[in-house]
Structure 1
Amino acid sequence: MVTKACMPLVLKEKGRFVNTASVLGRIAFLNSSYAISKYGVEAFSDVLRRELYRTGVKVQIIEPGAFTTSIWGTARRLAEQKAAGLNLPAEVRSQLPDDALAQLTRPFEMIEETGSTKLHLVVDAYCHAITAKFPKKRYQVGNDAKYFYWLLWNLPECISDFYIDWLGANSI
């Protein structure tokens, strides 16, 4: 709705749209809801860029890797509270692994433990996307995005699936 509302002005000025996705919009694991929303941003941005190709309007996607912010601790605590408050039938509970809660909260803990604190890298990517004469179509931000995740989405899926499972980065 925001894109549609801004479209006349952006077209008139041959401006830009800069959307924030995530590396998890390129390779999905950890949290399915989050990955789906980021895949949606990727798809929307790609289609928008192609629709506006001949207009002079540019569309960039910022794809940050893991950055440690206070949101992850809050999200982990909410997941713990939600899981603790679930009144699942005994039949469903019996099918869950003993460490179901740990598996649910592990992705948040991984990001808190391994995420970068260099938030200025994301800001720098935005600044470049907004002001550069020749901006990139995609900005993978953070070393994990540039190297680790890039490798995962370029490896054969059987290898990336094995590696993600080996890391214990699958959610239930």
Structure 2
Amino acid sequence: MGQEASIFRDPQGAKRLLVSSQCLWGLINNAGILGVLAPTDWLTVEHFREPFEVNLFGLINVTLNMLPLVKKAQGRIINVSSIGGRLAISGGGYTPSKYAVEGFNDSLRRDMKEFGVKVSCIEPGLFKTGLSDPVKATEKKMAVWNQLSSDIKQQYGDGYIEKSLAKKAKNKLFQNLDLSLVVKCMDHALTSLFPQTHYIAGVDAKTFWIPLSHMPAILQDFLLQKHKVKLADPKAV
């Protein structure tokens, strides 16, 4: 995300690089961070603010600065969301930020339709990338755990953090390794005569996450709860 994140900090600078052409055919908003993935009662508002700044406000900032050029070209805008924008899998700021991206994407698509600008959203499943680096994710989660009060630690249990990290390690088996699945969606959204409004990338997204997102909440809760570590004493509040 490094190069695009720098554009998020200075979208006007990127705009100056394009001014000679007076138009821009395609904009792909792909930068993103996970932040801390942990139970909600472990976190502060700052833990939520960080992913929102990049995943949502950075995306909006770049889009608004580039929008006049895209409108002149009657071009394309592609926003990369996530299955986390369709289904809340874990606590933290990542999922709420991606839900917000989905909302911004839909309103932008409808607003730009009369200008001939096509807007698409890509919803990747779990892919093995730097974003999902297990070492960094573990370090962040452990740092938060170490700062928790003794009361919250008692509610979750001394072995909770180790068990949750072990479960996360098992989930790596379900990560997609072929990043071209996402790139092909980007290519189609940019170059096809009739781009789709939403693209789903990844075997896990197509066969499990997206179908689950259409199911009743009671079934979603049951299936997702089965994969969580049981609390030691949830009533010790």
TM-score scaled to structure 2, two decimals?
A: 0.65
Aligned length, in residue pairs: 169
After TM superposition, the structure 1 = structure 2 runs for residues 58-73 of structure 1, keeping only pairs within 5 Å, are 58-72=118-132, 73=134
CA distance in 1, matches of 2:69, 2:144: 46
CA distance in 2, matches of 1:134, 1:168: 41
**Contact 1:67 / 1:119 at 8 angstroms: preserved in 2?**
yes
Match of residue 201, structure 2, among 136, 141, 159? 141
Match of residue 102, structure 2, among 37, 42, 65? 42
TM-score scaled to structure 1, two decimals?
A: 0.87
Return 109-118 or 32-41, whichever deviates more. 109-118
Q: Which position in structure 2 is the counterpart of 1:75?
A: 136
**Contact 1:76 / 1:108 at 8 angstroms: preserved in 2?**
no
Q: Which position in structure 1 is the counterpart of 2:39?
A: none
Match of residue 91, structure 2, among 27, 31, 47? 31
Q: Which position in structure 1 is the counterpart of 2:153?
A: 93
**Contact 1:76 / 1:105 at 8 angstroms: preserved in 2?**
no
Go from structure 1 to structure 2 and tell me whether the alpha carbon gap of 1:136 and 1:53 turns closer, same or farther (over 3 Å shift).
Answer: same
Structure 1 residue 80, shift from structure 2 partner? 4.3
**Contact 2:80 / 2:122 at 8 angstroms: preserved in 1?**
yes
Instruction: State the superposition RMSD in angstroms.
Output: 2.2
CA distance in 1, matches of 2:196, 2:167: 29
1:158 maps to 2:218: yes
- SS of corresponding position for 1:167: coil
Structure 2: stretches of 5+ with no match in the other structure: 1-60, 231-237
Percent sequence identity is 33
After TM superposition, the structure 1 = structure 2 runs for residues 2-21 of structure 1, keeping only pairs within 5 Å, are 2-21=62-81
CA distance in 2, matches of 1:103, 1:132: 46
